[in-house]
């Protein structure tokens, strides 16, 4: 697998990064929790096969992702990876909270430092909040102490805000959502180019848009099938990002050994300048085919959860989009029936608006829930 000298640092990272937001889970009572041994085995298998970038965050898996990552990186694995985690900015109520949270995370990760520490899910309102909390002084202090090697931020907002944040501090990393569908959304391709010009390395999240691009609707499959070179939708999606200048690492949330092995193969076979003009045109045609069917554009990031009334918004939207893409109404009907039985369906919504304020995609969730409920009838 190709490795990259991470811009502006002394780190070298693998092009494939392991995102620890979707680790394997097992049902425990009424909820699902991380399957500890499978998750540890998966992370170590990735490292043993060339993955050197591990990404986690405070809220992933209800606060347990960092704990499992810490266990996985015992026995000499910590020294073999670049480790990234994120400050949960929404939990910062006083300047002292930033130091407290970082110390808590280091303890969970069983390490004395992280290589990158990111302000999590930054946007316009959060930038204002973190400025008031004195984030620059905190980051300077954390780096000086050795607890953080390099500062960065992850981002969910519009392109203008991305540029404002990019220019606000001496960042070394910007983690952005990018995939075939998001070249003109959020940070945008132009934003990534600007980060490259400033010498800020870019890490990609949601390369498959919450796994959506692993399941090809018929019209998208037809576009791919028309091309002389045959590859899976997953491979095309990764190659599209691999070809993008300024991108250091592409994160993938791998929950099975099969997914991991396939991704390792894809990244081991890929080379710089991996796409030609005919392939770039193919990707544009694929985007048009997707957009002709998808309704919600939800990535399943779960920032809207928990809903005060228990509505499982990401599940509703995922199954609605699946039913539309594959022209199978029964997919939505089946899942809506189960959600109704457990009182997690759209009828529980009281229009409080909490979900819309939290949504990094800025979706009109309340109206979409009404439409989804109607579509299931």
Average pLDDT on 30-51 reads: 96
Res. 252 pLDDT band, cuts 50 70 90: very high
**Segment 60-83 mean pLDDT:** 98
Percent of the chain residues past pLDDT 90, beyond the cut: 88
pLDDT of 249 over the 80 cut:
yes
CA 98 to CA 181: how far, in whole Å?
34
Residue 225 has pLDDT above 80, yes or no: yes
Please give the average per-residue pLDDT across 267-279, as a whole number: 92
| pLDDT confidence bin for 210, thresholds 50/70/90 | confident
- Buried b or exposed e, range 171-182, using 16+ CB within 10 angstroms: bbbbbbbbbbbb
pLDDT for 55 = 98
Q: Does residue 326 have a pLDDT over 80?
A: no
Beta strands in 226-300 (DSSP E): 247-252
pLDDT of residue 300: 84
Ordered structural domains, the chain, with CATH: 3-291 (3.20.20.100), 313-375 (no CATH)
Of residues 61, 60, 58, the one with CA closest to residue 28:
61
Q: Round the average pLDDT of the chain to a whole number and report it.
A: 95
Q: Which residue has the tokens 């050795």?
A: 146
Please check the confidence at residue 327 and state whether its pLDDT lies above 80: no
pLDDT of residue 299: 84
pLDDT in tens, 108-142: 999 999 999 999 999 999 999 999 999 999 999 99
Looking up tokens 């992370």, which residue turns up? 43
* 298 close to 317: Cβ distance less than 8 angstroms: yes
Burial class (CB in 10 A: 0-12, 13-18, 19+), 160: exposed
d(CA 372, CA 375): 5
**pTM of the entire predicted model:** 0.84
């Amino acid at each position: 697998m190709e490795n990259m000298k991470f811009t502006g640092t002394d780190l070298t990272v693998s092009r494939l990064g392991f995102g620890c937001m979707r680790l394997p889970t097992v049902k425990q009572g009424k909820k699902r929790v991380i399957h500890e041994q499978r998750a540890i085995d998966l992370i170590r298998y990735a490292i043993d096969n060339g993955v050197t970038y591990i990404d986690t965050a405070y809220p992933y898996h209800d606060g347990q992702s960092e704990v499992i990552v810490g266990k996985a990186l015992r026995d000499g694995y910590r020294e073999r990876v670049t480790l990234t985690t994120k400050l949960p900015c929404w939990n910062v109520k006083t300047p002292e909270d930033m130091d407290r949270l970082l110390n808590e995370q280091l303890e969970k990760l069983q390490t004395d430092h992280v290589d990158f520490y990111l302000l999590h899910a930054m946007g316009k309102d959060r930038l204002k909040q973190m400025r008031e909390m004195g984030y620059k002084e905190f980051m300077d202090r954390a780096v000086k102490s050795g607890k953080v090697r390099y500062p960065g931020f992850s981002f969910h907002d519009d392109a203008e805000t991305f540029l404002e944040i990019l220019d606000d501090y001496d960042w070394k990393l910007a983690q952005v959502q990018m995939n075939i569908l998001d070249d003109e959304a959020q940070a945008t391709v132009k934003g990534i180019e600007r980060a490259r010009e400033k010498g800020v390395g870019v890490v990609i999240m949601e390369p498959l848009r919450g796994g959506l691009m692993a399941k090809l609707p018929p019209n998208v499959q037809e576009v791919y099938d028309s091309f002389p070179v045959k590859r899976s939708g997953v491979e095309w999606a990764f190659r599209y990002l691999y070809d993008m200048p300024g991108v250091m690492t592409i994160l993938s949330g791998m929950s099975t050994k099969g997914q991991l092995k396939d991704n390792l193969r894809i990244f081991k076979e890929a080379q710089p300048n991996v796409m030609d003009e005919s392939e770039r045109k193919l990707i544009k045609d694929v985007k048009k085919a997707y957009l002709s069917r998808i309704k919600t554009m939800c990535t399943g990031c779960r920032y809207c959860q928990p809903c005060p009334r228990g509505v499982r918004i990401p599940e509703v939207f995922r199954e609605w989009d699946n039913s539309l893409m594959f022209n199978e109404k029964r997919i939505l009907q089946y899942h809506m029936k189960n959600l109704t039985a457990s009182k997690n369906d759209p009828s529980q919504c009281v229009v409080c608006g909490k979900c819309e304020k939290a949504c990094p995609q800025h979706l009109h969730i309340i109206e979409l829930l009404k439409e989804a409920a109607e579509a299931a009838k």
